[in-house]
Chains A and B, each alone.
Chain A
Amino acid sequence: MTVNPLAAGLLAAQLVGEPIGLNLILGLVAVFAGIWLATSERVELVRVAR
């Protein structure tokens, strides 16, 4: 999900000339950190015996 705003920002800069500010990059870093913190505990994947 954190790649989505990056792709959106880069293409929008080309298509409609929208700026990508440093604040957006910092916001993305916060989202990435939050997702990592929350999911690194939750996602304990195990292979189910078949």
Chain B
Amino acid sequence: MSEWFGVAIAIVSSCLGGSAAAVTRYLVGGADPITLAVLRWGIGFVVVLPAALLLRAAWPPRRDWAGVVALGVAFFGVFFILYNMALGYTTAARASLALSTLPLQTLVVGAVLGMERLTLRKTAGVAIAMGGVFAALASGLADAPRGAWRGEAIMLGAVLCMAFYNVWSRPFMRRSSPLGFLAVGMGAGAVVLIALDVMSGRIEVLREFGTAQWVAGVWLGVGGGAAAFILWCWRCSARRRRGWRIR
């Protein structure tokens, strides 16, 4: 895979993620955050598991399963409940703008955990991006839905959690494969979400779904859940196979 093809894959994956934010916004009036997460990761896992088996992805070793499951529940469960809550308050574009600070928050978390050196240049990059996002969100608040700031604050907090997930995932992925790590974590997250949804009775809301909502829900799982993450794994694996590493 050439580097340009890899960039194209990353762009498609990011577009699928962005489309999921818009579809979540479309569905959020008729379903709660847990049910939306069930649709995304329940359906997503049904696609990801066969893909991992067919592609013979390397699974995490037995000693890593507790860690991989815990990270999966934290990311696919907790993070995406917060993500869906955020989209209940603010627009898809504003929430996604807050989400786009993820690489920079990951860099800061990496530095806090002693896994990254925060140079002056990196600090300037973080400051420019975060300053720009705050300025953009604050200046557009008058045209945003009432209470939009709550959604953006929830999303920024959730992104910080995801940054920890990114940093803590690295050793587990190194000892297995991106797709194997993803499948186990997604499965664990989906099981917990479905259990919560069934026990709270929220899952009943799916009975009220019409055809349009089901089409949107399936897209959320297949496009924004499975396809976006399988493409991301493909790019990670290709880079690993070619023997690239960061110096």
Listed in ascending order, the chain A residues whose CB lies under 8 Å from chain B are 1-12, 14-16, 18-21, 23-24, 26-31, 33-39, 41-48, 50
Contact with A along B212-247 (1 / 0, CB 8 A): 000000000000000000000000000000111111
**In the complex, what distance in Å separates the CA atom of A44 from the CA atom of B15?**
26
Of A11, A12, A27, A39, which is within 8 A of B103 by CB? Answer: A39
| Interface hub of A6, A19, A42 (most chain B Cβ within 10 A) | A42
| Interface hub of A14, A28, A47 (most chain B Cβ within 10 A) | A28
By the criterion of a CB under 8 Å from any partner CB, how many residues of chain B are at the interface?
Answer: 52
Tell me which residues across on chain A come within 8 A of B136, comparing CB atoms.
23-24, 26-28, 30
Contact with A along B123-155 (1 / 0, CB 8 A): 011111111110111011001000000000000
Tell me which residues across on chain A come within 8 A of B22, comparing CB atoms.
7-12, 14-16
Tell me which residues across on chain B come within 8 A of A39, comparing CB atoms.
103, 125
Given known contacts A34-B125, A36-B125, A41-B119, A5 and B99 CB-to-CB distance under 8 angstroms: yes
Chain B: CB-nearest residue to A49: B243
The reply to whether A45 and B246 contact each other, CB–CB distance below 8 Å, is: yes
Listed in ascending order, the chain B residues whose CB lies under 8 Å from chain A are 11, 14-19, 21-23, 25-26, 91-97, 99-104, 107, 116, 119, 121-122, 124-133, 135-137, 139-140, 143, 242-247
Given known contacts A18-B25, A24-B94, A1 and B125 CB-to-CB distance under 8 angstroms: no
The reply to whether B18 and A8 contact each other, CB–CB distance below 8 Å, is: yes
The reply to whether B245 and A5 contact each other, CB–CB distance below 8 Å, is: no
Tell me which residues across on chain A come within 8 A of B23, comparing CB atoms.
11, 15
Write the nearest CB–CB distance from B148 to chain A, whole angstroms. 11
